[in-house]
A = this chain, B = another copy of it.
Amino acid sequence: MVTPQENKTITIYDIAREAGVSPSTVSRVLTNSANVRSEKKEKVQQLIKKYNFKPNALAKGLSDTKSKLIGVIIADVRNPYYAAVFVACEVAAKRRGYMTLLCNSLGDMQQELEQMEILRQQRVDAIIHLGGRADDLETNKKYVKKVKERLNVPLVITGKLDGLDCYKVQIDAKKAAELLMEHLIEQGHRKIALIGGRLDVISTYEKYQTYMSMVEKYQLDFKEEYIITGHYNNETGYIGMQQLIEQNTLPTAVVAINDYTAAGVMRCLAEHGYRIPQDVAVVSYDNTDIAKLLMPTLTSIDYNYDLLGERLVDTAIGAIGQEEVPELQMITPHLVVRESSVWTVQ
């Protein structure tokens, strides 16, 4: 049998004893919270190194009521969008001396609430919540009520939650949709379809709205059939595209709700013998790894995940420290043009 190495866990008291000082002095050099005579300080530091001493985070957290933990509830880290945001959060948090505690809610409200409880139990100092209830177009009253009752730490989201004091770091969905539409219009497209996503998700709804106003503004050829909602996956893209083809309402360009959906759209087009982008151009949101793997490579909207993660974390930490933090911040997306929408790219 394998037995864990028995490295006696040493405490602040052990250090203090051997250094000939009091535990508080050790604590002081640990936290740098007060001046300590340099000889003692050095002695202590030397012992800390010698024993590779790391203060017990549980005890520290219990004592000063700060766990230095930020809870992150996301829909699903297996989705590359959330994975990118999470890693960015982790990096940003680490840089500021925090750890992240990740929970995958799988978009389920019960899980979201339960995970919030668990995070509360772990005494996280703040919670970042992406996806699920935090991105609904219509705020779920019951959810807000429960959260309000239970949560006593700052909450940061990318969507909105009416009637709840929380911080928002949003991606400018309007801008994102405009970039895509203007790009397509520049390429001469006037028949543009929208595939995938649910209109009860705020960012999706905003993209839809922006689309409609662009249709108006540029007097595009519009058909009801061009709007196909659904999920955020491959199948939705495939089925949606199939529908357009079968209905004889083929557009010259498709805006997919994300890269997964775009992949489905592209497969369907290919199977039916349509060339991309010559016959139908395809573009999408999120610019995940997938965009570079597809053939042709996919034009997509990038959100600057590093910046998004940093903003989320900075906002959380600012709020923890009772700083004056803006309630609403915006991330400006940008367009990454690839083969699926332009003939002559690289």
Contact = CB atoms under 8 A, between A and B. Distances in A.
A83 B90 contact: no
Contact of A289 (B56, B78, B295): B78
A58 B5 contact: no
A6 B152 contact: yes
Contacts of A67: 58
Contact of A76 (B2, B57, B87, B122): B87
B78 A84 contact: yes
Taken together, the copies of this chain in the complex come to 2
A108 interface: no
A266 B87 CA distance: 29
Contacts of A266: 295
Contact of A5 (B3, B4, B76, B148): B148
A52 interface: yes
Interface string A155-199: 100000000011100000000000000000000000000000000
A118 B99 CA distance: 9
B290 A290 contact: yes
Interface in A37-81: 52, 54-59, 61-62, 67, 76-78, 80
Given A62-B58, A263-B293, A270-B295, A165 B9 contact: no
Interface string A257-290: 0001001101100100000000000000000011
A236 to B, nearest CB: 13
A3 B234 CA distance: 41
Contact of A4 (B1, B61, B78, B151): B151
Contacts of A99: 101, 118, 122
A17 interface: no
A260 B167 CA distance: 37
A150 B293 CA distance: 41
Contact of A267 (B155, B167, B295): B295
A87 B7 CA distance: 31
A149 interface: yes
Given A58-B61, A234-B293, 10 more contacts: A9-B152, A52-B149, A54-B121, A58-B123, A59-B62, A78-B83, A99-B122, A263-B293, A270-B295, A294-B294
